[in-house]
Structure 1
Amino acid sequence: MHLPRLRIILRLRLIAALLCAGVVLLGVLRGGPLAADPGDVDAASRGVVRVVIIGEEGGEPVPVSHGTGFAVSATRIVTNAHVVAEAVQDDTLRIGIVPSEGAGGAFARVVAVSPRNDLALLEIASGSLRLPPLALAGGDSGNLGEVSAVGYPMNVDLAQGLDMSDIFRAQPPVKSRGFLSGERPSRQFDTILHTAPIARGNSGGPLLDPCGRVIGVNSFSADAQGGDGEFYFAVSLRELLPFLRSNKVEPVVNALPCRSIDELNAEERQRLEAEQSKARAALEQRSESLREVRETARLTAQMEVLEARENRMALALIALLACIGAGYAAFVWRSDEARATHVRIAGALSAAGLAVALLLWFTRPGLAEIEDRVAAAVEKAGGGEGKPAAPGTASDAAEGALICTLVPERSRVTTARTDDVAFEWSADGCVNGRTQYGLGQGGEWSRVFAAEDDAALAVNTYDPATRTLRTDRYLLGQEALAAARAARAAYTPPACGVSDAARTLGEQQSTLIAGLPERPNERLVYSCTAKGAGK
């Protein structure tokens, strides 16, 4: 008797599976990112918090309810209006912020509430808690790609057997995946429809694109009955951005394409191969041109040198004959006293003829001059070995004051700033007159940065030959970041101008670089030009 209903359910599941497969296929055909990068979702999760509504019982704080929020600045947090509605209406309740890692929590105050679109803005009111803000996606979110929901669903807490006190303890948020199903307005505000599962407690958490950028604020779900598919709704950025800006919050917004590091690496290999192929073709063309120059020069030199040799030898022969003739006359007239003057003149002419003959003979062009003339012609044509390199090539070392500008098509950016960089390079690896770069075994100039005010570890690499500056950023968790900072603090980089400073620093930071993840979360590639030069 239940067979028809079972068939309907099986058909619905089959249709759902086909729809999912179609979404995946569409993403492949369109070339868009299908799978969220776990490293990016983990990086974004660092700024996701549990928002706890706290009451009091017997003089002790007790959780009344909780939801999720995420940082849009170091001290400001977005969540849903319905998450904090009780605290807004009851001044005996407080709002607690529990981060995803570390030991410190904090209380927060409500800055603004907008029930119309279910948004609320909180500010950390006390303590030293500072959070890494999430970036908001600035591009089109309606490409049917994969999305991730991050938050603290209550059913997971119950399944793990957590009691109420555990809510005050830092725990990593739960991540779920699904697909974007489109954007459609609800009765009151603009929402995003998706299939990444959320539950009670997820409210106010971020909906992320494959690069870990926020595309919505999870708010509610559609009722699923029987074999109906489950769909979930997030407040769209069309609602969130005006809400934040009206409350004087300018979030990090990233409109660059979402691309993977693997994709960038593959394109970089293709670019290098194309450049090498182009260089080989240019070299072959140049070699062919030089061969033509060499052959023409050799033929011309042979004709000129042989002609010059023949002319000199002919003149030497004439001078020698004159020498012999004058000598013979002097010999014949030697006994005739009346011709004594003629004898002396003939003798002088004979000696002069011999000298000229010898001079012409020994100064005739040698056959080696043919090769000298060929070499000179090739050198003039630009093919001589050891010719000084043109400005901007490797031997130029790109020294001096530079301005480095981001190359978006070679970069992957989620939260980092992309401003131009002032970069003054010296051939010994000193940057801006004060920061020494290390020289690695592969001849690569690099410097590790682990600033306390940056929730990331960065490795800068500079290639003087191409004037390319690259920054790889690793958005590590608190423990990993603390370990990296400790490794960085374990050595003191040599100052600029110290003997063998580049090699020393290269050795010092090699172990730290080797211990970093295989792929960075962000890669910023800059092209540098001389300061003041036209772009």
Structure 2
Amino acid sequence: MKHAFIAGLMMVVALLAGPLHAQSRDISAAERSVVRVVVVATDGNDYFYRGHGSGFAVGPRQIVTNLHVVEQALDDPEMLIFVVPYDGKEGFVGKVATYSQRVDLALVDLDGGQLAPGTIATLPPEGSEPVYAIGYPSNVDRAEGRNADDLIRPTAPVRTQGLISQGRSSKDYDTILHTAAIARGSSGGPLLDECGRIVGVNSYLSASDGVDAEFGFAASGRELTAFLKGAQVEARTTPVRCLSAAEQAELERRAAASDASDAEAQRRMAEDAKAARAAERERIEREIATERENAIAVAAVLLALGVLALAGGGLALSQQRRNPGIGAIVVSMLLLAGALLIFLNRPKFDEVDDRMPPEKKVVAEGYDAIGKNICRVVSDRSRITVSATDDLPFEWTATGCVNGKTQYGEIASGIWSRALVPENDATVTVQSFEPAKGRFRSDRYLLNAADMESVREIRRRYDQTGCTTDPEVLRTVAEMQAAIRTSLPPQANESLVYQCGKLVAP
């Protein structure tokens, strides 16, 4: 009983710890898009610090910040905007592309770089939901003794946590009131939910005389998306609600229970098939035993009749009745020969295997994946954070070719996989497919610049492209998948599970 309790407790801890750790990594992944926005003055030779704020990428070379952070550089050619990503080696010069006085937002184009854009949650957060403010507060820089030169070097942003205050907004535009600590320098930084999606842009603080508590105000995601739409920027968005750690744990528990139920059903089917086969073998053995007994009995009767016929024939010959005697002897020979043949050809017990019907392979789910499929996301089996959940067309061949261009490798019995490592996006996607179940899975790993480059180095060692049926190339593909997987974190930031069905022509 004690061991059962400990085992149950460990399971609960594992379910809860997984999502909590995953959400912490989601925030870390979202920090890749955060930048420091520094405004400097120049006389053509030297540069002079004039202030800084925070911002975040909405495109590879576009960031959003507060207008008041960069406003002094709008019309002054001697003012420059310097944008410093923390996840990089250098900064870039920026120029305001458009702005909104009403919502205090500005879009800044960069002269270089390849930033990881953040994802905006289009569903408004609910009251008392946890949120994270990410940015570069000036008081932290001062406390750490940083000077103006330090501010243009890549530095990790500051992360603070708080809660949403429900039902409060400013009069001028839609804002989110929250308790995550922000300060001067935090302006323009993102306000994130637990899944690392942007729900607002930190803009200002409530006034305080040092006694009252301070609250932060962020321009809402609704205002942000409207601003970007007006600027004709196609930002990454998601309408999916962020699940709490408890909700995610419950989904994982249900999925694990469903998988366990499927495995149990498969086990029972296998056991039933085994029991049925054993019963069939026993029936055949009894059948053979009966046939042997019947054959022996018939042979014995024929033997007895043959002996009697032989005796009768001998008696007839002794009485000088030649023809009846010879006839009786011939009959006796036939009876004895029949008895011998029946006895020698009686069924044998080693015929059991020959009489057994062919063994049928037990398959719990028998999906025929070959050909064109359409795959739809299964929400209660997925962890959706930043990706779209559109249906996926999926064409499959028996040798693991997907959509006629991507070769998967078989990493386990019945499971095929391929890791996609792009050169221009800091995301590794590991896709896997179980043809017998029609189940497709896409695991996304949002990596920092150093980890992403390590994975790219592994991918560059393999030059395989396109589909193939060459066993040696297929082995190489499987080897590549294993090498990439070992370099990835234990858990993905996002896991989308799809159930595939046959694509029916209209």
**TM-score class, shorter:** 0.7 to 0.9
Match of 1:363 in 2: 342
Q: Aligned equivalents of 1:283 and 1:441: distance in 2? A: 21
- Out of 452, 464, 480, the residue aligned to residue 481 of structure 1 is 452
User: RMSD of the TM alignment (CA)?
Assistant: 4.0
Q: Which residue of 1 aligns with 2:398?
A: 426
**Mean Cα deviation higher: 518-527 or 145-154:** 518-527
| 1:471–1:524 CA contact under 8 A, matched in 2 | yes
The question of whether the paired residues in 1 share the 8 Å contact of 2:80 and 2:94 is answered with: yes
- 472-481 or 83-92, which moves further after superposition? 83-92
Q: Amino acid of the residue matched to residue 347 of structure 1? A: I
Aligned positions of 1:341-490 closer than 5 A: 342-343=323-324, 347-348=326-327, 350-363=329-342, 368=347, 376=355, 379=357, 385=359, 387=360, 399-419=370-390, 420-427=392-399, 429-440=400-411, 445-490=416-461
Per-residue CA deviation, residues 236-281 of structure 1 (Å, 9 max, x unaligned), is 2232233333433343222154367988776665444333333333
Which residue of the partner structure matches residue 280 of structure 1?
267
User: What displacement does 1:208 show?
Assistant: 0.7
8 A Cα contact 1:183 1:190, kept in partner: no
Offset, 1:286: 4.5
Q: Distance in 2 between matches of 1:304 and 1:287?
A: 26
Alpha-carbon separation, structure 2, partners of 1:264 and 1:452: 34
* Maintained 8 Å contact 2:312/2:328: no
- Distance in 1 (CA, whole Å) between partners of 2:219 and 2:21 is 22
Hey, what does 1:108 align to over in structure 2?
A: 95
Contact 1:435 1:496 (8 Å CA) reproduced: no
Q: Deviations over 1:366-419 (max 9, x none)?
A: 77567857985x73xxxx54x3566965xx995555444333322223333444
Give the letter aligned to residue 439 of structure 2.
T
Relative distance call for 1:496 and 1:134 in structure 2 (3 A) is: same
Aligned partners of 1:238 and 1:497: how far apart in 2?
A: 50
Asked whether the equivalents of residues 385 and 494 of structure 2 are also in contact (C-alpha less than 8 Å), the reply is yes
Q: Percent identity?
A: 34
Distance, in Å, in 1 between the alignment partners of 2:229 and 2:308 is 107
CA offset digits 1:438-480 (Å, max 9, x no partner): 4558996433322113221233333444443333322111222
Match of 2:470 among 498, 510, 523: 498
1:208-250 Cα offsets, whole Å, 9 max, x none, are 1111111111122223445533322222223223333343334
1:405, 1:421 within 8 Å by CA — same for their partners in 2?
A: no
What code does the residue aligned with 1:483 have? S
Residue 206 of structure 1 and its aligned partner are, at CA, apart by: 0.9
Q: Kindly provide the amino acid, as one letter, of the partner of residue 243 in structure 2.
A: C
- Relative to structure 1, the CA distance from residue 334 to residue 289 in structure 2 (aligned partners, 3 Å threshold; closer, same or farther) is closer
Whichever residue aligns with residue 71 of structure 1, its letter is A
Q: 1:258 is matched with which residue: 224, 243, 259? A: 243
> What is aligned with 2:54?
68
Three-state SS of the structure 2 residue aligned to 1:202 is coil
Q: Partner residue of 1:4?
A: none
Q: Secondary structure at the match of 2:59?
A: coil
Deviation at 1:487, TM superposition (A): 2.5
1:177 to 1:408, Cα distance in 2 relative to 1, 3 A? same
Contact 1:36–1:212 (8 Å) recurs in 2? no
Code of the residue aligned with 1:228 in structure 2: it is D
**Contact 1:33–1:258 (CA under 8 A) maintained in structure 2:** no
Number of equivalent positions: 485
Q: What's the secondary structure of 1:275's corresponding residue? A: helix
In structure 2, distance between residues paired with 1:306 and 1:511? 65
- Return the alpha-carbon distance in structure 2 between the equivalents of residues 48 and 483 of structure 1: 22
Structure 1: how far apart are the matches of 2:309 and 2:410? Answer: 75
- Residue 252 of structure 2 contacts residue 381 of structure 2 at CA under 8 Å; is this kept in 1? no
**Structure 1 residues 496 and 166: CA distance shift in structure 2, 3 A:** same
2:33–2:57 contact (8 Å) kept in structure 1? yes
Measure the CA separation in 1 of the matches of 2:177 and 2:482: 47
* Aligned-residue offset at 1:511: 3.9
Q: Deviation digits for residues 62-100 of structure 1, max 9, x if unmatched?
A: 443322222223333332233344344657645443322
CA drift at 1:322:
4.8
SS at match of 2:117: coil
C-alpha distance after superposition, 1:261-318 (max 9, x if no partner): 9887766654443333333334444555556666666666655664565456546644
For 2:102, what is the secondary structure of its paired residue?
A: helix
Moved more, 220-229 or 282-291: 282-291
Q: Call closer, same or farther: CA 1:242–1:348 in 2, change over 3 Å.
A: farther
User: Is contact 1:488-1:509 (8 Å) kept?
Assistant: no
| Residue from 181, 195, 217 that aligns with 2:201 | 217
Cross-structure match for 2:185: 201
Q: Which residue of 1 aligns with 2:114?
A: 130
SS at match of 1:72: strand
CA contact (8 A) 2:193 2:242 kept: no
Q: Amino acid of the residue matched to residue 58 of structure 2?
A: V
CA separation of 1:145/1:321 partners in 2, compared to 1, >3 Å: closer, same or farther? Answer: farther
Distance 1:112-1:322 versus aligned 2 partners, 3 A rule: farther
In 2: Cα distance, 1:448 partner to 1:496 partner: 16
TM-superposed deviation, 1:157: 2.2
Please give the alpha-carbon distance, in whole angstroms, between the structure 1 residues aligned to 2:45 and 2:68: 26
Q: Is the 8 A contact 2:295 2:346 kept in 1?
A: no
Query: For residue 359 of structure 1, what is the amino acid of its counterpart?
Result: G
1:147 partnered with 2:131: yes
Question: In 2, distance between residues paired with 1:463 and 1:249?
Answer: 38
Structure 1 position 521 matched with structure 2 position 493: yes
Q: For 1:14-25, what aligned pairs fall within 5 Å after superposition?
A: none
Partners of 2:255 and 2:380 within 8 A in 1: no
- 1:112 and 1:360 mapped to 2: Cα distance? 109
CA distance in 2, matches of 1:155, 1:188: 28
Alignment check: 8 A CA contact 1:323 1:349 kept: yes
Per the alignment, in what secondary structure is the counterpart of residue 86 of structure 1? Answer: helix
Q: Which moved more, 1:525-534 or 1:463-472?
A: 525-534
User: How many angstroms apart in 2 are the aligned matches of 1:245 and 1:55?
Assistant: 31
| Equivalent-residue separation in structure 1 for 2:213 and 2:345 (angstroms) | 95
Alpha-carbon distance in 1 for matches of 2:485, 2:353: 52
- Aligned amino acid, residue 66 of structure 1: H
Q: Distance in 1 between matches of 2:21 and 2:298?
A: 83
Give the equivalent residue in structure 1 for 2:103: 117
Paired residues of 2:124 and 2:222 also in contact (CA < 8 A): no
Secondary structure of the equivalent of 1:187?
A: coil
Deviation at 1:188, TM superposition (A): 2.1
The 1:391/1:273 distance shift into structure 2, 3 A limit, reads closer
Q: Verify the 8 A CA contact 2:407 2:468 in the aligned structure 1.
A: yes
